[in-house]
Amino acid sequence: MTLPSNIYIDIHSHSPSPSKDVITFCSLFHDQSISECENTFFSVGLHPWHIDSTDCKNALLELDRSAQSEDIIAIGETGLDRAITTKFERQKKVLKEQLRIAEKYNKPLLIHCVRAFPEIISLLKKSKVPIIIHGFQGNFKISDELLKHNFYISIGAAILKEIPKHIHALQLIPLENLFLETDESDESIKTIYAKVSELLEVEEKELMTQIQANTTKLFHL
Ligand SMILES: [Zn+2]
C-alpha cells in the first residue's frame, strides 16, 4: 500500500481511523482482535498494566502467533511503568520477550515508558527493529538520550498544554525521528499537527510529508 499524500498519520491510538484523511495505527491489547477498518493498521502487545491479571506465558505465545500476520505491522504497546505495583523485574522480562518477537518478525516496537527511561534505553538500545517511544512527555535531556540511540519519539495531546519543557524537547527532535499520536485522548490528530507545526514553525504540509516518509520507512509501506 502506498500512502496517499495530504494524509494525517496517527501513530498510536486505541480506536480505528475516524476519517478518510487520517491513517491510524491502532494498538490492540493482547486479548483484543482485529476488526477490518478503513485507513487503519494494527499492532498488538502485552501492556505492563495488564501483566498481573494475565497468564503471560500464554499471552506471549498468542502474541507470537498474531505477529506472524501481515495485518499486524508492529508490536506494542509494551514497555515499563514505575507508577504501577507490578514487579519491575517481571515487566522487564515481558518486555524482553516482546522485543524478541518484534525482532523475529522484523516489526517495530511501540513503547510505553513511565519513569523508566534508563532501563528502556539499556534494554532496547541494541534492538534490531525501530523503537518508537509513544506519548513522550520528558525533557530534552531524556529525548537527547533516546535520539542518541536512534529511537523515534511520538508526541501526543499533552503538547497542547504547551508546557515549556515539553516544547523545548519537541523543538530539538529532528523531524526524521518524530511521530504524532492521539492515544486515548479525545483531541483530533489534526489539532495536534496544527499545534506542533506552530511550535516548530514549520508548514503543516512539510510536517505531514516528513511523518509520511518516516512511516513509509519504518513500516515498509
Ligand atoms: Zn496507548
User: What tens-digit pLDDT sequence spans the chain (221 residues)?
Assistant: 667 778 999 999 999 999 999 999 999 998 888 888 899 999 999 999 999 999 999 999 999 999 999 999 999 999 999 999 999 999 999 999 999 999 999 999 999 999 999 999 999 999 999 999 999 999 999 999 999 999 999 999 999 999 999 999 999 999 999 999 999 999 999 999 999 999 999 999 999 999 999 999 999 88
Domain annotation covers residue 75: yes
How many domains does the chain contain in total? 1
| Cell (9 digits) for 196 | 506542533
Which residues constitute the domain of residue 154?
A: 8-219
Domain annotation covers residue 1: no
Domain annotation covers residue 3: no
Q: How far is the CA of 12 from the centre of ligand 1 (A)?
A: 6
Domain annotation covers residue 38: yes
Q: How far is the CA of 201 from the centre of ligand 1 (A)?
A: 27
Domain annotation covers residue 141: yes
Q: How far is the CA of 134 from the centre of ligand 1 (A)?
A: 8
Angstrom distance (rounded) from CA 8 to CA 35? 21
Angstrom distance (rounded) from CA 142 to CA 7? 30
Q: How far is the CA of 131 from the centre of ligand 1 (A)?
A: 15
The domain that holds 211 is classified in CATH as 3.20.20.140
Contact 88, 118 (CB under 8 A): no
